[in-house]
């Protein structure tokens, strides 16, 4: 069973003429309705996260700064992060949507997907950036840790940008394994997310970055994820799986140079359901509206029908040319990761 969490109020986070705008979540919900895959009873409304929820992650100064910035009329917090007068309230709703999705999984859904905005994975404890005000995933994780007493978390992020905020918040935390696949940070915002950033102190070895060169396709992504995700997840043995979902690695997306196609989003949801058995997913980026619509259909279809799809994959998995379509750069990145993480994982 799959649930989604959504509110029409997300349009009140008014970013004006910005790629991260209200149309993004509207086209996803339209696609879900057209698809008819989800029953109306499986579409939930979020509650706003409380200030206490925010303060488990963010500093008091930062929460009050965003609140005041919005009350004073909003504008641009930095060169690319916009807020309107209602954005503080809607950012709490977006964080609350992620918490709600996690609660639904705790209550027995196999997967739940929060389709909210503003996104969150660039927000650090004390800084809003990269279209993000508060870190929705980190707020959800700390809620689960404190309120639901869950101990070990695997966070997987396949947005095309490195989730620098999430990585930074848990960088010294041995109970949170953060795995991110993203475009090579030498070539894209936020300029972090290299292989050598492996976590520190007790969290050393619990921050695993997979930086992919521009031009990477499904073949490169599947090759490397297939070798890393399953073995790392098995060794780490998490109690709960949180996924930051981004569609900006699609070949039609205006913000990246990664060339995934629609099929990747079904493959990844099937792969993750196979590994984790239950998943909480949180929307991050994705800025081409047509690609968002199609790829969300594929993602949700994968979440819902992963058992059937998996059998089909196994039957059809006889394409011996796949390996030759993987770029040599990708093979080298895998070798670098395997070597770097050899003290922690057998990849």
* Interface positions with Zn ion (CB under 5 A): 159, 161, 246, 248, 285
What is the SS3 assignment for 326?
Answer: coil
What is the SS3 assignment for 156?
Answer: strand
Catalytic site residue from 122, 161, 182, 250:
122
Q: How far is the CB of 159 from Zn ion (least distance, A)?
A: 4
C-beta closer to Zn ion: residue 85 or 190: 190
Q: How far is the CB of 211 from Zn ion (least distance, A)?
A: 14
Q: How far is the CB of 344 from Zn ion (least distance, A)?
A: 27
Distance between CA atoms of residues 60 and 58, nearest Å: 6
Distance between CA atoms of residues 284 and 245, nearest Å: 6
Contact call for residues 38 and 148 (beta carbons, < 8 A): no
Question: Partners of 154 in the beta sheet?
Answer: 177, 241
C-beta closer to Zn ion: residue 108 or 254: 254
Using left for φ > 0, alpha for ψ between -120 and 50, and beta otherwise, residue 201 falls in left
DSSP 48: P
Residue least distant from Zn ion (Cβ): 285
Tokens of 41: 């009873």
C-beta closer to Zn ion: residue 127 or 161: 161
Question: Partners of 157 in the beta sheet?
Answer: 180, 244
Tokens of 51: 């200030």
Gap between the terminal Cα atoms of the chain: 31
Examine the residue annotation and report whether 122 is marked as an active-site residue of this protein: yes
Q: How far is the CB of 249 from Zn ion (least distance, A)?
A: 8
Q: How far is the CB of 259 from Zn ion (least distance, A)?
A: 15
Q: How far is the CB of 294 from Zn ion (least distance, A)?
A: 18
C-beta closer to Zn ion: residue 197 or 248: 248
Question: How many C-beta atoms lie closer than 10 Å to residue 307's C-beta?
Answer: 10
Query: What's the Cα-to-Cα distance from 39 to each of 45, 217, 279, 296, rounded to whole Å?
Result: 14, 33, 19, 16
C-beta closer to Zn ion: residue 105 or 129: 129
Indicate the pairing of strand 82-83 with strand 75-76.
antiparallel
Question: Partners of 245 in the beta sheet?
Answer: 283
C-beta closer to Zn ion: residue 182 or 297: 182
Distance between CA atoms of residues 100 and 121, nearest Å: 17
Residues annotated catalytic, as ranges:
122
């Amino acid at each position: 069973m799959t649930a989604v969490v959504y509110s029409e109020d997300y349009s009140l986070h008014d970013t004006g003429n910005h790629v991260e705008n209200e149309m993004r979540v509207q086209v996803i919900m339209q696609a879900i309705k057209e698809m008819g895959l989800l029953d109306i009873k499986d579409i939930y409304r979020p509650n706003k996260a409380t200030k206490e929820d925010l303060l488990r992650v963010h500093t008091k100064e930062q929460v009050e700064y965003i609140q005041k910035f919005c009350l004073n009329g909003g504008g641009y917090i930095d060169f690319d992060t916009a807020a309107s007068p209602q954005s503080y309230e809607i950012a709490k709703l977006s964080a609350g949507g992620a918490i709600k999705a996690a609660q639904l999984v705790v209550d027995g859904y196999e997967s739940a997907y929060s389709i909210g905005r503003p996104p969150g994975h660039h927000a650090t404890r004390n800084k809003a950036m990269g279209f993000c005000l508060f870190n929705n995933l980190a707020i959800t994780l700390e809620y689960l840790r404190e309120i639901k007493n869950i101990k070990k978390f695997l966070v997987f992020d396949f947005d095309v940008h490195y989730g620098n905020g999430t990585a930074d918040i848990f960088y010294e935390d041995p109970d949170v394994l953060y795995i991110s696949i993203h475009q090579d940070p030498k070539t894209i915002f936020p300029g972090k997310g290299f292989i050598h950033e492996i976590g520190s102190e007790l969290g050393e070895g619990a921050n695993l970055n997979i930086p992919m060169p521009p031009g990477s396709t499904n073949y490169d992504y599947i090759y490397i994820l297939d070798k890393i995700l399953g073995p790392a997840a098995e060794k780490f043995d998490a109690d709960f799986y949180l996924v930051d979902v981004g569609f900006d690695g699609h070949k039609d997306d205006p913000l990246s140079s990664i060339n995934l196609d629609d099929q990747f989003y079904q493959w990844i949801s099937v792969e993750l359901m196979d590994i984790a058995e239950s998943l909480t997913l949180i929307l991050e980026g994705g800025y081409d509206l047509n690609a968002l619509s199609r790829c969300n259909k594929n993602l949700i279809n994968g979440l819902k029908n992963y058992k059937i799809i998996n059998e089909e994959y196994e039957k059809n998995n006889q394409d011996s040319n796949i390996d030759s379509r993987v770029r040599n750069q990708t093979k080298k990145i895998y070798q670098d990761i395997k070597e770097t993480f050899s003290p922690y994982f057998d990849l």
